Structure 1
Amino acid sequence: MEFVVAKEKDLERMCEITKMAKNQLKKMGLDQWQKGYPSREVWIQDIEDGCAYLAVEDGQILGVFAFQTTPDVSYGEINGKWLTDGAYASMHRVCVADESKGRGVAGKMFAQGFLMAGELGFPAVRIDTHPGNIPMQRALEKAGFLACGEIHLKGGCEDGDLRIGFEKIL
């Protein structure tokens, strides 16, 4: 599996995979990603910013994620405690195509995020998920993330929504 920066030509497949993830969350009875986020416009901005990445195997896009190196405003306050203070990278919008689930794609995407963060000198990677998203929580813990506490999203259509913040020290 290789990881490449997403280009405009990849947008349709990225949106398709995102729709699969939204449908899975809906079937689980969760409100996560049910209010219009992540949208096509969010992915377009990520592509323009160069922070959208694809997990590709045999020419097929199996998964997508955003990797960011600027502080996330939602991580400024936590009911709990982050493992580190200061700089961190973050991963967002982690999605795996339905037909690729169970093949370790998410774990490989997390490992890639850790590699990129380490190469850039970040001491840790942060991420968040819905309290009811047990499959993602298991994937995060398997990848070495630790739950640090509760956060509330700031901005956008999910403003104020509760999430669990996770961090992995590199």
Structure 2
Amino acid sequence: MEHFLRKALPSEAEIIWNILQQAIERRRKDGSRQWQDGYPNLEVVKMDISSGKGYVLEREGKIAAYAALVFNDEPAYDEIEGNWLTNGDFLVIHRVAVSDDFLGKGIAVSLFKLLEDFAKEHHVFSIKVDTNFDNLAMLHILEKLNYQYCGEVYFRGGARKAFEKVLS
């Protein structure tokens, strides 16, 4: 099944927002507090896209997943309770969401593998990511893909589990 990563287009903001809303609802049903406070929202998606940070995984001509990608810029990561594995360049992955239409098809794992390739293509060999302590789906993916727990970071007043993977 062919799938690929590409920059999101401004005309796709509503589609991406719908996918994020599906993920927000899944988190709510799972009992997670992640994304239950009005963030992210459509304006965040539009800012991701306009700043060149919004990326989609396209499969079968449809958007299957979304992520915001940022190189070397996450102020919350400067204040970690714990220690990162590396101190050099890194890629931050935020706002990962998979469309309901593609659940159970390994899309999140495929997305992370494409993002690892994306980082290496940009000569960056560290990926940093954080998630809520109660986002069991993301915690499982990070464990499966050998991301290492590094400590806690704080966003909008809440603690988040921080992970890093050093790429070879």
Q: Could you say whether these structures have the same fold, taking a TM-score greater than 0.5 normalized by the shorter chain as the test?
A: yes
Local SS of the residue matching 1:137: helix
2:166: which partner in 1? 169
1:34: which partner in 2? 36
1:57: which partner in 2? 59
* Structure 2 unmatched ranges of 5 or more: none
Cα distance in 1 between the residues matched to 2:160 and 2:148 = 14
1:146: which partner in 2? 148
Q: Check conservation: 1:150, 1:162, Cα contact below 8 A.
A: yes
Cα deviation code 1:49-99 (max 9, x no counterpart):
111111111111111001111320111111211111132111000000122
Name segments (4+ residues, structure 1) moved above 2 Å: none
Cα distance in 1 between the residues matched to 2:113 and 2:39 = 25
User: RMSD of the TM alignment (CA)?
Assistant: 1.0
- Give 1:123 deviation, angstroms: 2.2
Local SS of the residue matching 2:86: coil
Q: Where in structure 2 are the equivalents of 1:102-113 lying within 5 Å?
A: 102-113=104-115
Q: Check conservation: 1:63, 1:106, Cα contact below 8 A.
A: yes
Q: If the length of structure 1 is used for normalisation, what is the TM-score? A: 0.93
Q: Check conservation: 1:130, 1:163, Cα contact below 8 A.
A: yes
Cα distance in 2 between the residues matched to 1:85 and 1:69 = 13
Cα distance in 2 between the residues matched to 1:21 and 1:79 = 28
Amino acid at match of 2:100: D
Q: Check conservation: 2:33, 2:134, Cα contact below 8 A.
A: no
* Match status 1:119 vs 2:121: yes
* Match status 1:71 vs 2:73: yes
Cα deviation code 1:112-139 (max 9, x no counterpart):
1111111112120000000011111011
Cα distance in 1 between the residues matched to 2:149 and 2:134 = 14
* Match status 1:10 vs 2:7: no
Q: Aligned pairs, how many?
A: 165
Question: Share of identical aligned residues, percent?
Answer: 34
* Structure 1 unmatched ranges of 5 or more: 154-158
